[in-house]
Amino acid sequence: MMNKKTFTNMALAFGLGLAASTVSYAMSCSSHPAPPDNPQTTEVPAGRGGYVDLTYAAEKAVNSVVYIKVTTNGRSQMMESNGPFSDPFFEEFFGDFFGRGGRQQQRRIETPKRQGAGSGVILSEDGYIVTNNHVVENADELMVKLNDNREFKARIIGTDKSTDLALIKVESTGLPAITVGNSEQLKLGEWVLAIGNPFSLTSTVTAGIVSAKARSLGASPGSIESFIQTDAAINPGNSGGALVNASGQLVGINAMLYSQTGSYSGYGFAIPTTIMNKVVEDLKKYGTVQRALLGVMGSDVSQYIDMQKEKGNNVDLGTVTGIYVSEVTADGAAAAAGLKAGDVILTVDGKKIEKFGQLQEVLTNHRPGDKVSVTYMREKKERSAVVTLRNIQGTTTAVESLDTDDMGAALRPLTDVEKQELGLRYGLVVSAIRKGKMQDAGITKGIIIMQVNDKEMRTKTDFDEAVKAANMSADRVLWIRAKTQSGLNRSFTVELSDQTKK
129-167 exposure pattern, b = at least 16 Cβ within 10 A, e = fewer: bbbbbbbbeebeebbbbbbeeeebebebbbbbbbbbbbb
Contact between residue 273 and residue 182 where contact means Cβ atoms under 8 Å apart:
yes
Q: What are the phi and psi torsion angles at 295 (to 5°)? A: 85, 40
Mean per-residue pLDDT over the chain, rounded: 81
- Is-catalytic flag, 405? no
Residue 52 pairs in a beta bridge with 46
Cα 258 to Cα 14, 236, 456: the distances in Å are: 13, 11, 35
pLDDT of residue 179: 97
User: Which residue in the list 21, 24, 164, 462 is annotated as catalytic?
Assistant: 164
64, 134, 226, 282: which one is catalytic?
A: 134
Name the DSSP letter for residue 102.
S
Residue type, 136: V
134 is catalytic: yes
Dihedral in degrees, nearest 10, Cα atoms 396, 452, 478, 422 = -160
pLDDT in tens, 155-173: 999 999 999 999 999 999 9
300 is catalytic: no
Q: What is the mean pLDDT of residues 447-469?
A: 90
* pLDDT digit string, tens, across residues 89-145: 444 444 444 444 444 555 667 778 888 889 999 999 999 999 999 999 888 899 999
8 A C-beta contact, residue 57 and residue 248: yes
Band of the pLDDT at 45, cuts 50, 70, 90?
A: low
Catalytic annotation, pick one of 28, 64, 162, 239: 239
- pLDDT value at position 235? 80
Give the per-residue pLDDT at 106.
57
Tell which wins on pLDDT, 73 or 376. Answer: 376
